[in-house]
Amino acid sequence: MDVIATLKKTREIMNKYGINAKKKFGQNFIINEEIIDRIVDVSNINHNTIVIEIGPGLGALTQKLLMKAKKVIAIEIDYTLTDILKEELKEFNNLEIINEDVLNVDLKALVNKYDKEDIVLVSNLPYYVTSDIMIKIFEADLKGVSLTVMMQKEVARRILKGENENLLTLLSKYYFDVKLGFEVSKNIFHPRPNVDSTILRYLHKQNRQLNKDQEIILTNLIKNLYTKKRKTLLNNLKDLYGEELSISLLDELNINQNERVEKLKLEDFIALVKIISQFRHQNH
Ligand code: SAM
């Protein structure tokens, strides 16, 4: 069977089925076998591993994952591609394809089906929806599942540095230890995107600072404040907790009411959540 991750094979498949890469789905296919092998390598996959792949595309990565893993569950939004995958990868009997927008898939239920198995989630993430997919993964709280994700270099850099925090950097830092896999040039994709990419490995933090209920508050708080990030902190918090509590929350943490959400570090959010959950407890 030919390796899919070459320009020649990628073009051949696209011509055979009469398709173009769809921008609206962030389709940039990897055309470099060495990069694929490195992604599989850093993901620590063996014959006992169940892999969940988001966005298999034409199967460049899927093909190699299938050779190494026990099973690959590939979730792809574009039905023209799922039909192609079924045909091109038909020699493998360890592939399950889910034709669905990953944002509508119950990842927790999927993972629960493979209780006690070694599960790794791998994705060359579509750029247009990177943040939403990552947040979906965080919220699903997939215990024990490590992630190998490829994203834009600049986005990855912010996560690794933990500076210039935003929704994605904050939640990444809270839930995971994030490590650099390696960086790749934009030239390894067809069609070629405008920016280089980075592969990150996400490993679950052993000791998290909040309990389950508090974590729900944390995730919602960060999401809510960042969707209205132009508002002052007081106005933003007020919508969630009323004026009185919001003023005392900010006072307690010594934070100016007129600052914006970008001012808050992860530690500030954690402190806020602890006070909010204490307050809720007392008022129940
Ligand atoms: N894995 C392939 C590769 O590396 O060559 C393709 C990666 S391409 C950057 C992203 C893939 O994600 C595309 O196949 C695209 O159709 C798919 N995709 C985009 N949005 C999606 C969504 N919401 N749910 C599932 N798949 C999605």
Q: Convert the pLDDT of each residue in 37-53 to its tens digit.
A: 999 999 999 999 999 99
**281 has pLDDT over 90:** no
Residue minimizing CA distance to atom 20 of ligand 1 = 25
Q: What percent of the chain has pLDDT over 70?
A: 100
**Residue 244, pLDDT above cutoff 90:** yes
- Name the band, by pLDDT with cuts 50, 70 and 90, for residue 90: very high
- Which atom of ligand 1 is nearest the CA belonging to 78? 16
| Ligand 1 contacts CB of residue 78 (under 6 A) | yes
The minimum-distance atom of ligand 1 relative to the CA of 29 is 5
Residue 278 — pLDDT band, cuts 50, 70, 90?
confident
Residue whose Cα lies nearest atom 23 of ligand 1: it is: 101
How big is the chain by its Cα radius of gyration, in Å?
A: 21
* Ligand 1 center to 58 CA (angstroms): 9
Q: Which of 2-6, 7-11, 211-215 has the lowest mean pLDDT?
A: 211-215
Minimum-distance ligand 1 atom for the alpha carbon of 5: 5
- Specify the ligand 1 atom closest to the Cα of 30: 5
> Residue 259: what pLDDT?
95
217 Cα: distance to centroid of ligand 1 (angstroms): 30
Q: pLDDT tens digit string along 52-76?
A: 999 999 999 999 999 999 999 999 9
Tell me the pLDDT band of 283, cut-offs 50, 70 and 90: confident
What's the pLDDT at 208?
92
The whole-number average pLDDT for the span 19-30 is 98
Task: Using DSSP, state whether 190 is helix, strand or coil.
Answer: strand
| pTM score, whole prediction | 0.95
Instruction: List every span in the chain annotated with CATH 1.10.8.100.
Output: 212-282
Q: What b/e sequence results for 142-170 when a residue is b if at least 16 CB atoms lie within 10 Å of its CB, and e otherwise?
A: beebbbbbbbbbebbbbbbeeeebbbbbb
DSSP string, 163-185: -S--HHHHHHHHHEEEEEEEEE-
Tell me the pLDDT tens digit for each residue of 112-144. 999 889 999 999 999 999 999 999 999 999 988
Distance between Cα 102 and ligand 1 center (Å): 10
CB neighbours of residue 96 within 10 Å:
12
Query: Cβ neighbours of residue 243 under 8 Å, at least 6 residues apart?
Result: 234
| pLDDT at res. 162 | 83
CATH topology of domain 7-204: Rossmann fold (3.40.50)
Q: Which of 23, 25, 101 is the best mutation target for the ligand 1 pocket, counting ligand atoms within 8 Å of the beta carbon and taking the most?
A: 25
Is the pLDDT at 284 greater than 80, yes or no?
A: no
Q: Where in the chain is the domain with CATH 3.40.50.150?
A: 7-204
- 259 CA distance to ligand 1 centroid (A)? 38
Contact 185, 32 (CB under 8 A): no
148 pocket-lining for ligand 1 (C-beta < 6 Å): no
Question: Is 222:267 a contact under the CB 8 Å cutoff?
Answer: no
Question: Quick one: pLDDT at residue 282?
Answer: 81
**What is the domain class of 212-282 according to CATH?**
mainly alpha
Mean pLDDT of all residues belonging to the chain = 95
